[in-house]
Structure 1
Amino acid sequence: MDSRSVTFVGGGPRAAMVLERITANYPDDAAPLTVHVVEPFEPGAGRIWRYDQSPLLKLNSMAQDITMFTDASVECEGPAREGPTLLEWCHAVIAGEITDHRITDPEIMHQVRELGPESFPTRQLQSIYLGWFYRRTAELAADNVRVKTHRGMVTSVTESANGHVVELDSGDTIATDAVVYTVGHTDSMGSNTQLTRERTAGARGGFYAPPAYTNDVDYSAVRPGDRVIVTGMGLAFIDLMVLLYEGRGGHFETLGERVDGQPREGIRDGGPLSYVACGQEPQLYVGSRRGVPYHSKITSVLSVDSEPLQFITPEIVTRLLEQHSTLNFHEHLWPLINQELGYHVYRELIVGHPERARMSWEEFAPAYRAAHWGSNELHQLVRKAIPDSRYRVDLASIDRPFDDMFFEDTQQVQDALVRYIERDLTLRTHPDHSETQALFLALLRTYMEIGRLVPLEHLDDESQRLVPGWWHGFFSFVDSGPPAHRLQELLALHRAGFITFLGPDLEITTAHPDAPEGTPAFRARSRAGGADVSANSWIEARLPAPTVVSSADPALHQVHSSGAGVEQNFETEDGATVSTGKLVVESTGHVVDRAGDVRPTVFAAGHFTSAWNVGAFARPNSNSAPFRQCDGLARTVLTALGLPVVPAT
């Protein structure tokens, strides 16, 4: 039998998941198959999850919610292959059932022993789990599947008479029948604007950092006492905060933990924190588009069992697709999303906390299902059932909490932010507020289900830009925030005088290169008033926006320059061209070239593509979208190579 081969350009978690699905879907008696995986860092973990990063950095998911295995809950054609979640993996390590060379590190073994279901593991620990998963997948592959790992970076992929030639930075080449781009998060080449900012800051003894993965930036140029403007309050900002304070030697204590400078006995974990300085701290002035940090992760539990989705269902979405040639996100999907999330929050309130309601669920539910979102009928129903407006679902206010506010001075901004963060911590950690868990779970299921039911090509141009931008950002803001203790640390640093809040809608201006000596490099002002700060340093605390044209990854950049792939562009009504920066792929994962033709043996998967962004790993027993997507891609790749797949389950 003729052998076939496929090459992965990038070997992080997504590549590892697709690899596992290939081994699961490929019959044991089929022709020999070689899978090449090219990855400059450790395969399975990749760059973002590599072991070599600060042990202070953590995941924003609890240990019980992390798995790399496609379990029986996943609705896919390939067979399920059970395996340990991260938490179960740690238990197996403790029992001696699983070994790994890095677990001999006493600090790592301490993390393994201390990890509980609701613990937030370090990225180092996750890195070991991901690397183990990759090696296990390769080792357990059938005899007719050979996995070859190449430590390096792909510089180009070219067509050949028999398929493709993949060239590595070492000069080695791989002849292959199919290529799968799984490059993960990549940097972009610096723009002229960014270079100007860097020169302006440097000329004044300051520092400028463009968007980047936080752990990869050298912040040693930020000196103790430096004033630094920071834009972005998401997860990248949280990492920055950790590295610049605790990472430099500071630490946190529970308020009241010391008496006369000595440790006090009997203080329980949790609650407000105080920050003990180390003398190396800069002064951060922080703001963002919303002006607030991502919502913290939730520790409360539902009072009642959740119900299936009511409005984002196959029947309703199919009917929409039959009625409209293309869907507009705001017109057709956003009303359903609002009503879906409201349904689950109100059910938790009315059934789980009846003292907050003035109507039974039996009376409320049918009336709610029958009403249209935005109608006066629905508005009156909710007002009657939930008299306290604080418990009513208002997604617009959640998305933009300070839209209707104007601040007279900086202190008003500080007071508003502190109240907001303290309220968020109460809502997300107190058992009396399980309605926030209902919102979290409903949004998670809704986000994933829309991605499954609505092909992106059935959305209009405006919506195809909106989905990877605002919609994904809203989901991340509500559901993918940091552990609650990180927001407690943020408040402690604010109380200690090291972090000042600037508010929403920041405008940053850069001084002209010929400005008089002493002119600060940067000035930050909030459109909501209150904040007007100058500094010689500026850190953009966020990941780079996706880009194919300007990607610093040589393989992804070569896809564009060769015409073998194309960046997703849309033309607006006024004739302007707007780009999402993403690589155009079909819903099957096939890459589309510059001429608009589908490349039959070239695939791509990940946030850098125009496909729905579903993440790289997920919760166990949740019919997770990443597993469904990876299983489908694996079967598509095998079929494209003319190879058989195991019968659909």
Structure 2
Amino acid sequence: MGKSTSIRAAIIGAGPRGTSVLERLLAHAATLSGSVAVHLDVIDPHPAGPGHVWQPAQSRLYLMNTQSFYPTVIPEDPRLPAPLAGATFDQWRARQRTDPSPSLTPEELEELAVLESRDFPSRALYGRYLRCTVEELLGRLPDGVTVAFHETAAESVHRTGDAFDVGLGSGGSLTVDSVVLALGHIPSRLNLEQRELQASAGQLGLRYLPPAVPADVDWSAIPAGEPVLVRGMGLNFFDAMGQLTEGRGGKFTDAGAGLEYQSSGQEPLIIAASRRGTPYRAKAALDGYYPSSVTLRYLTEAALERFAAAGILPGFDHDLWPLLHRDTLWAYYSTLVRSQPGAVPDVPAFLAALDEAMRPHAHSSTNWEDAVESVLAVHVGPRHRLDLLGLASPLAGRSFPSRADLDAAVVDYLLDDARRSALGEQDPVKMAIGALHRGRAVLKTAVADGGITDESWVAGLRGWFESFVEGLASGPPALRAEQLAALARAGVVSFVGPDPRFSVDRRARRFTAVSPWVGGQPVTATTMVEALAPANRVAANDSPLLQQLLDDGLVRPRLMMTAEGAPVEATGLDVRPHPYRPVAANGSVTDGLYVLGLQLSATQWGTAIAAEAVQPGGPVYASGQRTLRDADEIAQAILGA
């Protein structure tokens, strides 16, 4: 759309991504010449900035999964129009320490007083940052720009000629030139097993809490002193754990021999279950988001350029993972020889041989992994070898006579993992994970916009690697692992074991769970909590707006082809870049309709969730602020800038 004397756009969704679109629209509007009136309608039932997930009034026990220095909604790219207001979260945090906003509550001031750059802030405080950012932007509106906020749901979007009619849940509609779908987390329908569990609970008088945003859950409904079966041991699990322990008056103390838990007597007995049988590994203590001692040698921008120059569309398992696998091994063994003198007798000879074994040789038919194994057999004893895939499944290959034996093993794992996290760059395992973490940033750029084959996206990237790397590199602060170990020692938490099976004992009127690797009777409870985020699948959505767009054919899910040639429905919308516009059911692209964020999950991988602030002295990956550049492209298209 070219410039006109009047431009009106609607942003549906007022969380972080909607806020980024608003910020970019204002930045671009400030550069427009001539007499141009711009009106922006921001639509969300929740206050603008925090949106649904980051509400400032939620429990301060809910922590972010990243440290203060990481997140931002303000771009730091000098190639983009300069922001009119706002800062990164860490800059905002530091400013509030010396010049606090009058809107800050006593609880927020108390948290800010002790929160440092490397600490993990509460989600509530991040929500306050988002709200303050919106307020700052509204105080700097360019001439000719007006913004209206509609605290209601957008329930429909219809194309009418060259415009769109946006139906509002509060009644009436808005007529606009452009619409941005920044929907964020949308409600999802339960899968078949979850629907059966929910139906059985209704019939038998049991409590079943389906997947939900943790702050939306009524944790007080779970009775004290009774078993509660919690499925999932990812990040939502730690939210549930905090609400059911510290949230009920319990306290953690440290007398020098590790954390201990003092019960309030109001806790339930938490029985935790997941496919691995253990939670995600905890984050290492680092000065930055990536370990400074780890440098990628194989999965590099130059390697990606070589694929492009050769006309190769890489496959994940065949082309990209072997490079990252090498980087991970090198990070582990180079850290091992640095941090544990004596682990390898002849360090120079070992590193030279390892480097030679891992270097790609076009003239050689030798399997590089076999060559590496030969080098390790000569130089590294079994105790110091890396079992990379085993890191994500620490209980694999083990069985336990009883759940007490299992609980003891999980506590040992948690304490060992927390110890390794405290060692930071001196721990070989955490540096191997650090290489995966760095590699993930490169992969995000490599695989976006059709950068790998469909079949390797389905079978490799999303088929096995995503869950593998999430379990290693997306874990909680190490404090959470120590707290979970303390709760297990105090008898407040116990575990089910790997590969659990869930069912309902209708005669006993109880949920049951059992692991094939743990002896004893199945665990039972009258309450079950799904500690899982709602599924991010557009085809399984429970959003009236998204369902209307699908039903009317304005958008469609993306289809991908498997290696067998079978089409499978991907998680996100089918879109055309750039900027991202949804593909209609008939294959056309509707001008003026844009998508940003989680519904791009079939085109982007891992970049639609948060933006990474630039860290002084740290690496700057193109994927770090990808979502902010996407917002900038949308703003340019809307304003014709």
2:273 aligned partner: 287
Question: 8 Å contact 2:14–2:49 — kept in the other structure?
Answer: yes
Question: 8 Å contact 2:420–2:430 — kept in the other structure?
Answer: no
Question: 8 Å contact 2:446–2:452 — kept in the other structure?
Answer: no
1:250-649 to 2 correspondences below 5 Å: 250-254=250-254, 257=255, 272-300=258-286, 305-306=292-293, 308-321=295-308, 326-351=313-338, 354-357=341-344, 358-360=346-348, 363=352, 366-367=355-356, 369-371=358-360, 374-384=368-378, 387-389=380-382, 391-430=384-423, 433-465=426-458, 466-468=460-462, 470-511=464-505, 515-516=506-507, 519-530=508-519, 532-570=522-560, 578-588=568-578, 589-609=580-600, 610-612=602-604, 613-614=606-607, 615-621=609-615, 622-623=619-620, 625=622, 628-641=625-638, 643-644=640-641
C-alpha displacement at 1:313, in angstroms? 2.4
SS at match of 2:524: strand
Counterpart residue type for residue 611 of structure 1: T
Task: Provide closer, same or farther for how the CA distance between residues 139 and 343 of structure 1 changes in structure 2, counting only shifts above 3 A.
Answer: farther
Does structure 1 residue 95 correspond to structure 2 residue 98? Answer: yes
Alpha-carbon distance in structure 2 between the residues aligned to 1:191 and 1:5: 39
Alpha-carbon distance in structure 1 between the residues aligned to 2:86 and 2:266: 44
Alpha-carbon distance in structure 1 between the residues aligned to 2:623 and 2:351: 36
Task: Provide closer, same or farther for how the CA distance between residues 495 and 366 of structure 1 changes in structure 2, counting only shifts above 3 A.
Answer: closer
Counterpart residue type for residue 523 of structure 2: V
SS at match of 2:220: coil
C-alpha displacement at 1:546, in angstroms? 1.4
Task: Provide closer, same or farther for how the CA distance between residues 443 and 586 of structure 1 changes in structure 2, counting only shifts above 3 A.
Answer: farther
Alpha-carbon distance in structure 2 between the residues aligned to 1:208 and 1:304: 41
Alpha-carbon distance in structure 1 between the residues aligned to 2:504 and 2:61: 33
How many pairs align? 619
1:17 aligned partner: 20
Counterpart residue type for residue 154 of structure 1: A
Task: Provide closer, same or farther for how the CA distance between residues 362 and 446 of structure 1 changes in structure 2, counting only shifts above 3 A.
Answer: same
C-alpha displacement at 1:252, in angstroms? 1.5
Counterpart residue type for residue 356 of structure 2: A
Once the two structures are superposed, residues 291-322 of structure 1 have per-residue CA deviations (whole angstroms, 9 ceiling, x without a partner) of 11111121156999546532222332243356
C-alpha displacement at 1:362, in angstroms? 7.0
Alpha-carbon distance in structure 1 between the residues aligned to 2:249 and 2:8: 50
1:220 aligned partner: 220
Counterpart residue type for residue 64 of structure 1: F
When the two structures are superposed, what TM-score results if normalisation uses the length of structure 1?
Answer: 0.87
C-alpha displacement at 1:347, in angstroms? 3.4
Question: 8 Å contact 1:77–1:631 — kept in the other structure?
Answer: no
1:262 aligned partner: none
2:364 aligned partner: none
Question: 8 Å contact 2:500–2:514 — kept in the other structure?
Answer: yes
Question: 8 Å contact 2:294–2:435 — kept in the other structure?
Answer: no
2:247 aligned partner: 247
Task: Provide closer, same or farther for how the CA distance between residues 643 and 185 of structure 1 changes in structure 2, counting only shifts above 3 A.
Answer: same
Alpha-carbon distance in structure 1 between the residues aligned to 2:97 and 2:15: 26
SS at match of 2:59: coil
Alpha-carbon distance in structure 2 between the residues aligned to 1:431 and 1:467: 27
| Superposition RMSD in Å | 3.0
Counterpart residue type for residue 281 of structure 1: E
Does structure 1 residue 63 correspond to structure 2 residue 68? Answer: yes
Alpha-carbon distance in structure 2 between the residues aligned to 1:106 and 1:458: 48
Alpha-carbon distance in structure 1 between the residues aligned to 2:603 and 2:102: 35
Alpha-carbon distance in structure 1 between the residues aligned to 2:149 and 2:621: 27
Task: Provide closer, same or farther for how the CA distance between residues 325 and 559 of structure 1 changes in structure 2, counting only shifts above 3 A.
Answer: farther
SS at match of 2:165: strand
Question: 8 Å contact 2:291–2:434 — kept in the other structure?
Answer: no
Alpha-carbon distance in structure 1 between the residues aligned to 2:118 and 2:372: 37
Once the two structures are superposed, residues 488-544 of structure 1 have per-residue CA deviations (whole angstroms, 9 ceiling, x without a partner) of 111111111121111111111234xxx44xx24322121333362222222111001
SS at match of 1:294: coil
Alpha-carbon distance in structure 1 between the residues aligned to 2:382 and 2:56: 47
Alpha-carbon distance in structure 2 between the residues aligned to 1:580 and 1:139: 41
Question: 8 Å contact 1:412–1:530 — kept in the other structure?
Answer: no
Alpha-carbon distance in structure 2 between the residues aligned to 1:459 and 1:85: 32
Question: 8 Å contact 1:236–1:543 — kept in the other structure?
Answer: yes
Percent of pairs identical after alignment?
27
Question: 8 Å contact 1:13–1:617 — kept in the other structure?
Answer: no
SS at match of 2:347: coil
Which stretch shifts more, 362-371 or 105-114?
Answer: 362-371
SS at match of 2:146: strand
Alpha-carbon distance in structure 2 between the residues aligned to 1:307 and 1:417: 29
C-alpha displacement at 1:144, in angstroms? 4.4
Alpha-carbon distance in structure 2 between the residues aligned to 1:550 and 1:209: 18
C-alpha displacement at 1:437, in angstroms? 4.8
Question: 8 Å contact 1:28–1:144 — kept in the other structure?
Answer: no
Counterpart residue type for residue 595 of structure 2: A
Residue ranges of structure 2 left out of the alignment (5+ in a row): 362-366
Counterpart residue type for residue 629 of structure 2: G
When the two structures are superposed, what TM-score results if normalisation uses the length of structure 2?
Answer: 0.88
Alpha-carbon distance in structure 2 between the residues aligned to 1:304 and 1:506: 35
Task: Provide closer, same or farther for how the CA distance between residues 300 and 190 of structure 1 changes in structure 2, counting only shifts above 3 A.
Answer: closer
C-alpha displacement at 1:366, in angstroms? 4.4
Question: 8 Å contact 2:42–2:149 — kept in the other structure?
Answer: yes
Alpha-carbon distance in structure 1 between the residues aligned to 2:359 and 2:624: 34
